[in-house]
Chains A and B, each alone.
Chain A
Amino acid sequence: MNWEVLVPLLALLFVIFLIGIWSNRKMKQSSSFLSDYFLGSRELGGLVLAMTMAATYGSASSFLGGPGAAYTIGLGWVLLAMTQVATGYFVLLVLGKKFAIVTRKFKAVTLIDFLKERYQSKSVVLISAFSIVVFLFAAMAAQWIGGAYLIQTVTGLSYLGALFLFAVAVLLYVIIGGFRAVAVTDATQGIIMFVGTLVLLIGVVIAGGGIDQIMTDLVTENPNLVTPYGHDGQLTAAYVTSFWILVGVGVVGLPQVAVRAMSYRDARSMHRALMIGTIVVGFIMLNMHLIGVFARPVLPGIEVADQVIPLIAMETLPPWVAGIVLAAPLAAMMSTVDSLLLLVSSSVVKDVYINYFKPDANRAHVKRVSIGFTAILGVIVFLLSINPPELLIYLNLFAFGGLEAAFIWPIVLGLYWKYANKHGAIASMVVGIGSYIAIHQYNDTYGNLFGVHAVTIPVFLSLIAFITFSLIFKKEPYQF
C-alpha cells in the first residue's frame, strides 16, 4: 500500500464529500427541488460554470487514454487533441444567449424539456431519453473503469476493491447534493486538474533533461514521433481533421455540455466562462497530451496506455505531490460520472416518469424517486464495470459520437431555424443514430470509411434528414 500517494487522494475525496453536504444544506432553503437538484437554480457564476464544463468534458480519456495514445503515437496525437480548444468558446457562443433565454422562457430544466417544448412531440422526448440512457451508460462505464484502474495502480488494491471505493465516493455525493454539489465540486476539481497538469508537465520536462533533449531522444528513437502523421505515418490529415466534429464543434450536441449552457446566472457569468473555459480546456489538453509524448523517453516500454500518467507521476514527482497530481484525473472522472449520472436520472425521472406517468407528483415523492433512481443507476453501472471491456477511449468516444449524431441538429436548428419541426427532429435523430451505429460497425471491420471518424458522415446525413423532413411537413414558422 502506497500511503504517501494515497493520503492526499483520500483527503480530496473527503473534501468533496464535505462540499456535497454543504450544498445539500443550501438546497433545503431553495423553493424548487427539481430545478435545484438538476440545475443548481440557474445561478452558476463564471468561474464555476467554466470549471464545471471543463471538468465534465475532461474525462478519463483526456487524462488517461489520450495521453496514453500520445505516448504511443507522438506529437500527431497532441495535434488531434488540440481540436478540443474549440469546445471552450464554441458551445457557449453558439448555444449562448439564445439557449439561456429560451430555456428560461420554457422553464426547461433538462435538455429534453427544451426539445419537448420546442417540438411538442412525445416521440422526440422518448427517443431523446432512450439515446441519453443508452449512450451515457457507455460513457459512464468508461469513466468508472478508468477511475478503478487509476486507484488500482496507485494503491495496489484489487480491481474490484478499487472500483468499489470509486463507486461509493461518487454515489455518496451525487445523491446527497445534486447539480449544485456537482457543479461546485466540479469547480474544485477543475482547479486541481489545472494545477496538477502544470506540476506534472514541469516534473516530466525536468526528468527528461529539457524539451530539446526530449525531442532529440524522440527523433533518435523514431523520427515519425515528431511529425503530424503518427509513429507509423498512418495518421492522415483527413482523419485528424474529422476530430473537429467529434471533439470540437460537435460537442454542442452533447447533453451533458448543453445542460450547462442553461445554468448560468447572467450574461456576465457567461462572458467570464467563455474566457476561463477556453484557457482551461486548451491548457489542460495541451499539457496532458504533451506529458504523454514527453513520458516516452523518460519511461520507455509502458505496455498499458492507461497507466502512462499514473506511472510517470509516481516516477518523476515526490510521492505526496504525485498523490495530489493524480487527484486530477480522478477528479475529472468523478465529475464526469456524477454529471452523467444526474443527466441519465433526470432523463428518466423528470422527462419520462413525471411527464407521462405522474404529472401531479409532489415534492417529497419527486425527491424520493430522483435519489432512489440515481442510486439504482449507480449500482447498475458498477455491475457493468466489474468485467470491463478492453478499450477505454473507445467506449467513451463511441458514446460521444452517438449523442452528437442524435442531438446536434435538433438543438441547433431548433434554436436557429424557425421551420424546424418535429418531423425533422425525429428523422434527424433516427438517421443520425442509425447511420452512426452502422458506420461504426463498418469501420471496425473494414477500416475508416472515407478515412474519417465514424461520427462525420452521420452528422451530415442527419442534417440532410432534418431539413428534408422539416420541409416536407412544412408548417407555420415557429415563434419563440
Chain B
Amino acid sequence: MPKGEKRTDWRFRIAHREALIGCALAVFNIIWWYGFAYTLGSKPPEDYTYIFGFPAWFFWSCIMGFIVMVFLVYLVVKFVLKEVPFDEEGSDER
C-alpha cells in the first residue's frame, strides 16, 4: 500500500467479499432462470412435458430456481457471512 494512505478498515475487506458473493449469486440466478426458461420453453407448446401440473420450463426456471436460490442464500448466510460490529471503530482489532 502506498505511503501516507490509511490502512483499509478490516471490516471493509469482509464487506467487499460479501458484496462480490452477492453479485455471484445474482449471476448464477440469471443463468439458471434464463437457461431453463428459454431452452425447455422454446419448444412448441404441444411438445411440452409437465411436472406437478406445470410446464417443465416453468417448473425448473421459476419454482426450482426460487428454491435453489433460497438454499444457496441459506448456505451463504450460514457458512460464509461474518459478523462484524457496525458501530465502534474496529480497525485495531484485526
A interface, CB within 8 angstroms of B: 75, 78-79, 82-83, 85-86, 88-90, 92-94, 96-98, 100-101, 104, 210-212, 214-215, 219, 223-224, 226-229, 237, 241, 244, 248-249, 266-268, 271, 274-275, 278-279, 282-283, 286, 416, 477, 479-480
Contact = CB atoms under 8 A, between A and B. Distances in A.
Instruction: Please provide the 6 A-B residue pairs with the shortest distance between their CB atoms, ordered closest to farther.
Output: A93-B22, A211-B53, A223-B45, A98-B15, A97-B15, A228-B41
A455 to B, nearest CB: 16
B interface secondary structure, majority: helix
A249 B26 contact: yes
Nearest to B50: A215
6 contacts: A97-B84, A101-B12, A212-B50, A228-B38, A229-B41, A237-B38
A249 B14 CA distance: 21
B22 A94 contact: yes
Interface in B57-76: 57-58, 61-63, 65-66, 69-70, 73-74, 76
A79 B61 contact: yes
Nearest to A104: B86
A94 B9 CA distance: 17
A79 B70 CA distance: 17
Interface in B21-71: 21-23, 25-26, 29-30, 33-34, 37-38, 41-42, 45-46, 48, 50, 52-55, 57-58, 61-63, 65-66, 69-70
Interface of A is mostly: helix
Interface of B: 5-6, 9, 11-12, 14-16, 18-19, 21-23, 25-26, 29-30, 33-34, 37-38, 41-42, 45-46, 48, 50, 52-55, 57-58, 61-63, 65-66, 69-70, 73-74, 76-77, 81-87
Contacts, number: 142
A171 B73 CA distance: 37
Contacts of B25: 86, 89-90, 93
Given A97-B86, A271-B81, A78 B45 contact: no
Given A90-B26, A215-B50, A85 B58 contact: no
A96 B26 contact: no
Given A94-B19, A227-B45, A275 B53 contact: no
Contact of A215 (B53, B62, B77): B53
A8 B22 CA distance: 40
Given A244-B30, A479-B5, 5 more contacts: A211-B52, A237-B34, A275-B77, A283-B66, A416-B19
Nearest to B40: A228
A224 B19 contact: no
A223 B66 contact: no
Contact of B18 (A82, A96, A226, A229): A96
A100 B48 CA distance: 47
B70 to A, nearest CB: 6
B55 A215 contact: yes
Contacts of B63: 286
A266 B81 CA distance: 13
A226 B62 CA distance: 13
Given A90-B22, A268-B83, A82 B65 contact: yes
A36 B31 CA distance: 41
Contacts of A86: 25-26, 29
B56 to A, nearest CB: 11
Among B16, B23, B73, B76, the most chain A Cβ lie within 10 Å of the Cβ of B73
Nearest to A210: B53
B52 A101 contact: no
A87 to B, nearest CB: 10
B58 A78 contact: yes
A195 to B, nearest CB: 18
Contacts of A227: 41, 45, 55
Contacts of A268: 83
Contacts of B61: 79, 82
Contacts of B62: 78-79, 82, 286
Contact of A479 (B6, B16, B41): B6
Contacts of A215: 50, 53-55
A88 B26 CA distance: 11
